């Protein structure tokens, strides 16, 4: 049997290229997934104290990640998920964090490579992640925080750059961070029957399937469009396993949809005409499942020329900001694949 591998030039000085395999996925528990279909990471190798490389495969068809009105390009949020899996796997496999460790995402950002240099996806796409770690925080020999800078590419062509900062805590510390008494927070299993009344039209947020829409009851007011988050606890990708809060990746999907909805509302050009060119987000509090969460997308502002728009997103719950984000949208070329 021939094993599919890809040589990756190490980010560390004077280190020989590393062959990464795409033959099978890594253990699902090491990337905090329950379904094998949601595991995209296939390999990871630590190079030295501050560098590791990882491999992933983007599926040619996926009920969530390839459900877009514009086809043929890797979903930026799928690339971000690959980076999240690379980070999560590395902390367990390379830095010794036990499986019960809780991960607290503080901030991340992404810059998507120029569309002209992004390969058109016609089948499964092998990608590599070259990661540099920064500013580790160790307490009594246990890793408690780490920053990452990641470069994602496919067949030598750049796809995106990602940076993130993550905190790692024990169960006891996590309970204190949550700020709720033990057992009082419901899990996403209680929200498997997601509300469908008031659902945003799928086409207005770049989706074909209504089950992938996460916004409800949009209202335009002044220079913003405000929606409610739809907690779809039974969604096999957004809630792959029970959660006691709204995960960061779900907030990013809500942010993307809100940005596209805002672009359509204020520019008159629908979601089909826009793609995500970048994002950044910071997380200040946990988004609870059992309280309404509003997603406010401000009027798109021009950035770097007429073809790009910057959309600021506020996530608010019970009168406080739980997260803030900004999405950079880029107008698709005329005749882009649909």
The reported pLDDT for the residue numbered 56 is 98
Q: Please identify which residue in the block is written with the tokens 């600021």.
A: 312
Pairing of strands 293-298, 224-229: antiparallel
The reported pLDDT for the residue numbered 335 is 41
Backbone angles phi, psi at 258, to 5 degrees: -65, -40
Cβ atoms within 10 Å of 116's Cβ, excluding its own = 6
| Whole-angstrom distance, CA of residue 216 vs CA of residue 194 | 11
How much is the mean pLDDT over the chain? 90
How many structural domains are present in the chain?
2
Are 174 and 187 within one domain? no
User: pLDDT tens for residues 265-299?
Assistant: 999 999 999 999 999 999 999 999 999 999 999 99
Which of 178, 194, 223 is the C-terminal boundary of a domain? 178
User: pLDDT tens for residues 264-273?
Assistant: 999 999 999 9
The reported pLDDT for the residue numbered 9 is 55
Which residues, 6 or more positions from 254, have their beta carbon under 8 angstroms from its beta carbon? 214, 215, 227, 229, 295, 315
Are 39 and 169 within one domain? yes
| Whole-angstrom distance, CA of residue 96 vs CA of residue 79 | 25
Are 31 and 130 within one domain? yes
Are 316 and 274 within one domain? yes
Are 109 and 217 within one domain? no
| Whole-angstrom distance, CA of residue 238 vs CA of residue 234 | 8
Cβ distance 213 to 200 under 8 Å? yes
Are 97 and 199 within one domain? no
- Mean pLDDT of all residues in 154-164: 94
The reported pLDDT for the residue numbered 322 is 97
Which of 138, 153, 178 is the C-terminal boundary of a domain? 178
Are 79 and 154 within one domain? yes
The reported pLDDT for the residue numbered 247 is 96
Which residues, 6 or more positions from 53, have their beta carbon under 8 angstroms from its beta carbon? 8, 10, 11, 18, 20, 44, 45, 47, 128, 129, 130, 131
Q: Which long-range contacts (CB under 8 A, 24 or more apart) does 136-145 make?
A: 142/97, 142/168, 143/91, 143/95, 143/96, 143/97, 143/168, 144/168, 144/169
Residue 172 burial by Cβ neighbours in a 10 Å radius (0-12, 13-18, 19+): exposed
Are 148 and 201 within one domain? no
Cβ distance 120 to 336 under 8 Å? no
pTM of the model: 0.92
pLDDT cut 90: percent of the chain above it: 75
Which one-letter DSSP state was computed for residue 60? Answer: S
- Mean pLDDT of all residues in 14-34: 87
Which of 114, 146, 178 is the C-terminal boundary of a domain? 178
Are 198 and 221 within one domain? yes
Are 96 and 202 within one domain? no
| Whole-angstrom distance, CA of residue 272 vs CA of residue 176 | 43
The reported pLDDT for the residue numbered 11 is 47
247 or 71, which is more confident? 247
The reported pLDDT for the residue numbered 100 is 84
Position 177 confidence tier, pLDDT thresholds 50, 70, 90: confident
| Whole-angstrom distance, CA of residue 124 vs CA of residue 5 | 14
The reported pLDDT for the residue numbered 7 is 59
The reported pLDDT for the residue numbered 334 is 46
Tell me the chain's radius of gyration from C-alpha atoms.
20
- Mean pLDDT of all residues in 210-232: 97
Name the packing angle between helices 76-93 and 248-267 (round to 10°): 160
The reported pLDDT for the residue numbered 1 is 37
- Mean pLDDT of all residues in 54-78: 92
The reported pLDDT for the residue numbered 79 is 97
User: pLDDT tens for residues 320-338?
Assistant: 999 999 999 998 764 444 3
* Tokens read off for 239: 């809630």
Residue 181 has pLDDT above 70, yes or no: no
What is the CATH classification number for the domain harbouring 155?
3.10.129.10
Q: Which domain holds residue 8?
A: 1-178
Are 324 and 193 within one domain? yes
Are 57 and 154 within one domain? yes
């Amino acid at each position: 049997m021939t094993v599919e591998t890809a040589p990756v030039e190490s980010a560390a000085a004077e280190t020989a290229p590393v062959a990464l395999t795409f033959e099978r996925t890594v253990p699902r528990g090491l990337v905090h997934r329950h379904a094998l279909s949601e595991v995209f990471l296939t390999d990871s190798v630590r190079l030295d104290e501050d560098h590791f490389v990882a491999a992933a495969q983007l599926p040619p068809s996926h009920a969530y990640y390839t459900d877009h009105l514009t086809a043929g390009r890797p979903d930026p949020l799928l690339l971000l998920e690959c980076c999240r899996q690379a980070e999560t796997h590395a902390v367990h496999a390379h830095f010794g964090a036990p499986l019960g460790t809780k991960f607290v995402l503080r901030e991340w950002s992404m810059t998507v490579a120029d569309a002209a240099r992004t390969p058109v996806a016609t089948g499964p796409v092998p990608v590599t992640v070259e990661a540099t770690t920064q500013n580790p925080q160790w307490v009594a020999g246990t890793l408690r925080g780490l920053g990452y800078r990641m470069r994602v590419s496919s067949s030598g062509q750049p796809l995106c750059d990602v940076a993130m900062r993550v905190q790692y805590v024990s169960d006891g510390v996590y309970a204190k961070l949550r700020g709720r008494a033990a057992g009082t927070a419901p899990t996403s299993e209680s929200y498997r029957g997601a509300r469908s009344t008031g659902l945003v039209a799928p086409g207005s947020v770049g989706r074909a399937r209504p089950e992938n829409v996460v916004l409800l009851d949009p209202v335009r007011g002044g220079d913003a469009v405000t929606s409610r988050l739809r907690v779809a606890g039974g969604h096999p990708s957004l809630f792959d396993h029970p959660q006691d809060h709204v995960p960061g990746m779900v907030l990013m999907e809500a942010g993307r949809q809100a940005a596209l909805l805002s672009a359509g509302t204020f520019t008159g050009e629908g979601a089909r005409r826009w793609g995500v060119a970048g994002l950044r987000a910071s997380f200040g509090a946990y988004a609870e499942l059992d309280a309404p969460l509003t997603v406010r997308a401000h009027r798109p502002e021009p950035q770097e020329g007429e073809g790009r728009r910057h959309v600021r997103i506020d996530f608010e719950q019970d009168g406080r900001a739980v997260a803030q984000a900004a999405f950079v949208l880029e107008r698709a070329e005329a005749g882009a694949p649909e």
